[in-house]
Structures are given as C-alpha cells and as structure tokens.
Amino acid sequence: MTEIKLFCPATIANLSCGFDVLGLCLDNAGDEMIVRKVTQKGIRITKITGADLPLETEKNVSGVAAVAMLEAYERDFEPITVGFEIEIYKHIKAGSGIGSSAASSAGAVFGINELLGRPYSRKDLVQFAMQGEKLASGNAHADNVAPALLGGFTLVRSYSPLDIIRIDSPEELFATVVHPQIELKTSDARSVLKQTVSLKSAIMQWGNVGGLIAGLYTKDYDLIGRSLHDEIVEPLRSVLIPGFDLIKQTALENGALGSGISGSGPSIFALSRGKETADKIAKAMSEVYENMNLPYEIHVSKINPDGVRIL
Ligand code: HSE
C-alpha cells in the first residue's frame, strides 16, 4: 500500500466540566486527507483545499505532527528511507471549536502509521498529534486529538506521563453543534482564562467530571446531563460567543441533557438522548441565529466510535 485516503473527524473538547481532559468524536463532520508514500525522504504538504493554510511542513499542523512521529520512529525502530506527501481537503473551519487542527494532525500520523505497517497503536499516536496542537495554539493539549484518533469519548487522566482512557458512548447519545460563523483562535480563548481556581469551584468541577464518566459507563442519561456543567472556563469564555446564553437556554428548553462551549468556541454543543431531540435542538438553535441575522453552520451527529478511518 502506497496511498491512503482518510476521513479525519471533527471533535468536541472539554465537554463543559473537562477542560483539556475530556473530548468526544463526531461522526458526520470532518476533513478528508490523502497520505502517499514516496521515494523522496521527508514530509511534504502538496495540496490544501477548503482553507488558506500554509503548505510549509514546519508551519502546518499535519507536517509538524508527522515530523514528530518520524523522529520517534527513527529512535524506536530504524532509519526511514522513504518520504510522505499529504493532501488535505478541509471542511472543518479553523477557529471553529470543533477540532480543525486536531483532525489534520490526527489524520497525518494515522495515515503515515498505516503506510509504515502500523508500528504504533492509535493511543501511541496521540503524543505525536499533540505536537500539531502545540503549533496551532501554543499548548499541546490532547482533548481533541485523542477522540479524533480513538473515537468515542476520551479522558486524559494525566499529561505527564500521558495516560488516555477511551470510553464507549451510550448508543442513543447524539450531539448537536452550532458554529456561528466567526473565528475564535484557541490561543485567544486561552488568554482570557485565569491560572488559579478556588477550592470551591474545583470541588464542583471534579464532582462533575466524575459524574460524567460514571454516567457514560452506566448509560445514565440524566447523570450525564447533570454533570455537563462548567464552573471554571465557561463563565470567562462565553462572553466571546455571540448569543451563547440564549443558544444554551434554547437547547435545554428543547430537551438537551446539557449544553456548553465546544472546545475553545465559538461553536456551542448540546448532547441529547435520541436523534429526534438532537434535530429539534438544531432547528431551535438555527432559529436563534436566524433571528440574530448571524450566519451559522449546524451539525447533528451520533458519537463516532472509531475515530479517523480509511475511506
Ligand atoms: N481544551 C482546549 C481549550 C481545546 O479549550 O483551549 C481547544 O480546542
């Protein structure tokens, strides 16, 4: 095999209570990518459509993630005698809050790993894809790249050492994600955060993280909903997102289990039980932005159990 075509899924990071540690994988929103093994050594980004992104390997998140992986491969296994070309077909907008850079980073390392005969596990690949996130936002968080690679829900239990736990999603869980068409850079959305939290807020937050994980394992939809609360980040970031309070309130009034900022925003997500409710929430959210005369994109998706996949 010398060429591989991939679906690189969008993801929702944080999930309200789990800043930088929780994420889930979407099923019907994502990019495509072609990765090709060539005789000329090195990594080259040969084509990008759908976004104005740099082709230079060291300035492109897929390039940086791929280089990190090849360097590790040479340390772990043997010298590399081939090179790789990457074509990226972007559908996820940069700065949308649904893991645009993560999709590209995850796709590149997954594709190269397949063409090398799968020397690394999907979990191993997370550490390389994180280098793309570092380039994109200044911080090597894993809460988008982990679900993009592993599918389902993921928890980063620890960054050092990296310890990632994949959690199955209850069958009937659906996500609705609305993207008001403004760009919010993750680095800007991180700059509004405080570096310390009160013990009172921390107690509420880790109670909810535990609750959300327990709810996923026991398929307790009400517990999942009760746990989708963010005491720390949402109050500081929501002011950057037009109509946030009204969209969230509308989602809850239309049956959402919970709603919050998707990743670093400006997208807003809601989780619900069943596609019918997820569609109803999408319609109601759309009406809010239509009344505000604000262009938007909306996705209704089941949780993608697989992560990046070969097309
Ligand atoms: N956890 C990261 C943040 C996700 O919220 O800054 C960025 O998509």
pLDDT tens by residue, 241-289:
999 999 999 999 999 999 999 999 999 999 999 999 999 999 999 999 9
Q: CB of 176 within 8 A of CB of 251?
A: yes
pLDDT tens by residue, 185-220:
999 999 999 999 999 999 999 999 999 999 999 999
Catalytic residue among 133, 231, 234, 297: 133
Same structural domain, 129 and 192: no
Distance 151 CA to ligand 1 centre (A): 17
Same structural domain, 151 and 186: no
Q: Measure the CA–CA gap between 139 and 129, rounded to whole angstroms.
A: 12
Same structural domain, 86 and 121: yes
Distance 93 CA to ligand 1 centre (A): 15
pLDDT tens by residue, 74-94:
999 999 999 999 999 999 999
Same structural domain, 101 and 26: yes
% of the chain with per-residue pLDDT over 90: 99
Question: Residue 52: which CATH number?
Answer: 3.30.230.10
Give the pLDDT band of residue 43 (cuts 50, 70, 90): very high
Q: Which two tokens stand for residue 152?
A: 């389902």
The 3-state DSSP class for residue 264 equals: coil
- E strand or H helix at 258, and its extent? strand 258-261
> Closest ligand 1 atom to the C-alpha of 13?
4
Q: Is 186 a catalytic residue?
A: yes
Distance 44 CA to ligand 1 centre (A): 27
Same structural domain, 67 and 122: yes
Domain enclosing residue 61, as ranges? 3-168+306-310
Q: How many domains does the structure of the chain reveal?
A: 2
Same structural domain, 256 and 285: yes
What pLDDT does residue 81 have? Answer: 94
Same structural domain, 131 and 22: yes
Number of Cβ within 10 Å of residue 246's Cβ equals 14
Q: Is 287 a catalytic residue?
A: no
Q: Vertex 164, ends 158 and 168: CA angle to 5°?
A: 135
* Helix ranges restricted to H, the chain: 61-76, 100-115, 122-137, 145-150, 186-191, 199-218, 221-227, 234-237, 244-253, 275-291
Same structural domain, 164 and 177: no
Same structural domain, 74 and 192: no
Same structural domain, 26 and 157: yes
Same structural domain, 129 and 197: no
What pLDDT does residue 1 have? Answer: 85
Catalytic residue among 11, 176, 186, 250: 186
What pLDDT does residue 22 have? Answer: 98
Q: CB of 261 within 8 A of CB of 229?
A: no
Same structural domain, 159 and 268: no
